[in-house]
Structure 1
Amino acid sequence: MSGEISRHSRSAANDELVTDTTNLENRLVDIHVAPLDHHDLGKILDVGEHLLNLDFSRIRTRLLNTAVGTASIAHALALACCNERDITQGGKEKVIFTEDDFREAAQAYVRTRSGAVKARFTRALKVHRKRMYDNTEIILRALTQLPESGGTVGQILAIIRVEKPSYPSSNATKYLQELQEEARGSLIRKTSSGVYRFDEPLQHAYAKAYFGEPSDETEGTPISDWESAFISQGKEFITRLLVQREIEENRYAMTDDEPTEEWELEENESKA
């Protein structure tokens, strides 16, 4: 029991660390880079193979697909594979990575990133003022119904309007922009082709778990490696009830009791 309490205490302390904005002062901000294709991402693996006598061929395509064009994630997954095999320097015998190595590496990456991801979702979902629409949740939920590579404003709106036919297009534009900003956790990025997607594919799987919309292979929808990693961890930090409980504690702390002028504007536009 004491070990369990200690583990949760450490988790809470880590969450406070990543959510404390004072920790970000005097640090460099993230520079968003356009998604890379498999050829460019593969160069990361090529260099590692050459320097450390490695062979990623059995998991290369899977690793690059899972990275979804993000160099830092491709590097992190490759490093996690090395860690799983205790590789710190090149050896005489070539190390060939297997599917089991990749699965363990993905789970390790999920464990190290869970606190940061949860903190970013907390900022994104926090309700600052009462409005007609819970805009950030609506948009994030819609993005979970698109591939990890994302979709256009039109595609996002089409999904939203299945359940909310009068949802204003101006809301989608405004809150897609807000969700790219630090105050909202920088959860969304806009690609050079005008497509909106989660900043990291891990966040896409996290959002699916939070909104209770996991993929179902029985219905022909493949489960991503990120979702598989969550499932293998027993969804310890992403089950809907656990995540909602932790986020909802602070989510409505700043909510006003009365509708704002923005609510009235949204309502008028939806009736137009």
Structure 2
Amino acid sequence: MTLELLILPCLTDNYAYLLRDGARGTVALIDAPEPAPVLEALAARGWGLDLIALTHHHGDHIAGVGEIVAATGAKVAGAAADAHRLPPLDIALRGGDRLEIAGAAAEVIEVPGHTIGHIAFHLPEAGLLFSGDSLMSWGCGRLFEGAPAQMLASLRRLAALPGETLVCSGHEYTEANGRFALALEPENADLLARMAVVRAARAAGQPTVPAPLSLEIATNPFLRYGAAELRAALGLAPGASDLACFTEARARKDRF
């Protein structure tokens, strides 16, 4: 399939994503932090908009929905569990549901933790994961509503996807997340190599997303809870549980 992906910087450090099916011209938007960048991108390309798919209810992911819908007539899809705090939904989704996004089949994955009703969209044929603020580039979202066990289960669910999957997360937080990872393991060669690439991208004004899931598994401290080196850096015993490792890492990131 010919699926075009457009990364739209929004607000201060958010990203929205436009996808277009090259064969049929169907267009979808993942999250809507603000209207102007989205509407300008559509107008510049002569595109319409068929669907807005929302990952979670936070304002920096939904604030643009009303104006974009008014301008385009797009349908809105989001979590049924959060329908009471999302813009009006045309399509209410639950984990395991299937949704067509720009002509591509997408699986809806429940990923509570950052918020209770957070969902992600996996497009297996396109090799894309839109993870919002659950799994993030070199990190994970702060636990505003969920418990560590919920977020750990969510991250495990996402980590089980194919390694070549490209993780399209909701913010440009990669360098800051990497500084935390390196504070824990300052001599880790994989982390140092990734940071060099990230800093070069940012110096060139380029986004650091999407990132391959395999890279996240190799370098993201919130997916490396089983690594002996990370457990030692966190001051945990070798026999500590995965949950204890994740919880300690998340608590330290909150204070970092």
TM-score by length of 2: 0.29
Q: Which has the higher contact order (CA 8 A, sep 6+)?
A: 1
Select the structure that is richer in strand. 2
TM-score by length of 1: 0.28
Select the structure that is richer in helix. 1
Tell which structure's C-alpha radius of gyration is larger. 1
